[in-house]
Amino acid sequence: MDAQPRTSYRGDPRASTEPPSAAANFRFPQGFLWGAGTSAHQVEGGNHQNDWWAWEQAGKVPERSGLACDHWSRFRSDFDLARSLGHNAHRFSLEWSRIEPEEGYWDDAALEHYRNVLIALHERHIEPVVTLFHFTLPQWMAARGGWEDPRIERYLERYVGRVLDVLGPHARWWITLNEPVVQVFKGWLLGQWPPGRVRAWPTALRVLRHMLRSHVRLYHLIHARVPGAHVSIAKHALALSPDDPSRWRDRWSVRVRGHLFNHLFLEALHTGVLRVPGLFWERLPIARTLDWIGLNYYTRDFVRNSGLGLPGLVGELASRDHRQQRGKLNDLGWEIFPEGLAQFLREYARYRVPILITENGIPTRRDDDRWMFLFMHLWQVARAIADGVDCVGYLHWSLLDNFEWADGYRGRFGLIEVDFATQERRIRPSAWRYAEVIRRNEL
């Protein structure tokens, strides 16, 4: 994989001191960003002013986030651990409901907290990647209609303006929205996340439009205020295969779902046109509002067509124990499908901006599986880079075991294990092996 000449073998008169395998290793580009990610509601604890907290209290999910990892008070020692693992980048999110707990009321102490978080990262030579919105809305905003209300664009703009006053000088990498399309699916079609609407297709499209327009506004705002900022979204990419490859309707559903789920949002921000083929298209205020692409990748789903209207074309998921699943399943039942990562690195290269992997990880209690997962996915990253894809970093999900939304605490995603009864941390062996990859900058 490496263009370097092979080292000759021991006993060879030209033998070098390098072990024979070293020359076959893949070297990542210089300055590659290595690290992990978290999000506020999943790790901070006590985020009682957002819509997810209310959702949990209403018993909509089996477990409540509670104190989570108490990262709110432990961020410094958690970053010490990240540093000891050689991380040079870290992704985290700001909790809007802490910064603006009531409409128009700003909690300066919360902003000061996040300023300290950024300073703590810089002190440890860790590059911050800041997410402005990671699934949770302040309850007051949710009560006004949340994402269904077009005013959210202005509310978000005002929140981010305030954030930039204090935090702007401390970060270069900014993510406006995390996984907007996932949020729309879970919140407006499947009903599993707030606001819990089911098959509300027209509303889902309206929400999507508000999300796109919000990104465009925030993109301009950040650029106006932070010289040299790199702005993007974190895009969830889901590999898709037909339930029955011999059925044209399943193959067709893979294409429709693939466009809606994996491309529509990026394409809209890139071209300035929101396009749902055969249904409608709409122009956004401006094109090219992605300086890079944040890629979140986990798994593959199988799709079965269920009709010729839009919902039917999007199809049903047929993934559980699918006969064609070639990989292992993780603890939440998702297939391990590393090839998908290289596939999306290549597909997203078409947008001609650098790609930063902003999430990739595995919920598992078997840490050997985590290392296997990490190795196999980094191998795919290496392949894509060797093919010319401009991938600038890899942020593993997650630094810590954490609150996995509707799945609660059973999915253990952490490089660092958290004992939720005592808040003790233990670095997992896979994290040390990852640290070794980082140290050598090669695989």
| Residues within the interface to ligand FCB (CB under 6 A) | 39, 42, 178-179, 182, 236, 296, 359, 397, 404-405
Reading the block at residue 296, the tokens are: 């979140």
> Would you list the DSSP string of 17-52?
SS-TTGGGSPBPPTT-EEEEE--HHHHS---TTBHH
Nearer to ligand FCB, 266 or 385 (CB): 266
Q: How far is the CB of 184 from ligand FCB (least distance, A)?
A: 13
CB 193 within 8 A of CB 135: yes
Q: How far is the CB of 363 from ligand FCB (least distance, A)?
A: 7
* Cα–Cα–Cα angle for 434, 436, 437, rounded to 5 degrees: 65
Answer for the pair 269, 215: CB distance below 8 angstroms, yes or no: yes
Task: Categorise residue 165: left if φ over 0, alpha if ψ from -120 to 50, beta otherwise.
Answer: alpha
SS3 string of 331-380? Answer: CCCCECCCHHHHHHHHHHHHHCCCEEEEECCCCCCCHHHHHHHHHHHHHH
Residue 150: count of CB within 10 angstroms of its CB: 13
Cα separation of 330 and 340, whole Å? 16
Residue closer to ligand FCB (CB basis): 20 or 191: 191
Which CB sits closer to ligand FCB, 28 or 297? 297
Query: Least distance in Å: CB of 178 to ligand FCB?
Result: 5
Phi (first) and psi of residue 181, to 5 degrees: -70, -35
Three-class secondary structure of residue 124 per DSSP: coil
How many residues make up the chain in this entry? 443
User: What span, in angstroms and rounded, lies between the C-alpha atoms of 42 and 400?
Assistant: 9
Q: Are 127 and 90 in contact (CB under 8 A)?
A: yes
Q: H-helix or E-strand containing 90? A: strand 89-93
At its nearest, how many Å lie between ligand FCB and the CB of residue 61? 13
Q: From residue 230, how far is each of 3, 72, 131, 152, 435 by CA, in Å?
A: 31, 26, 12, 23, 26
State the minimum distance, in angstroms, from the CB of residue 359 to ligand FCB. 6
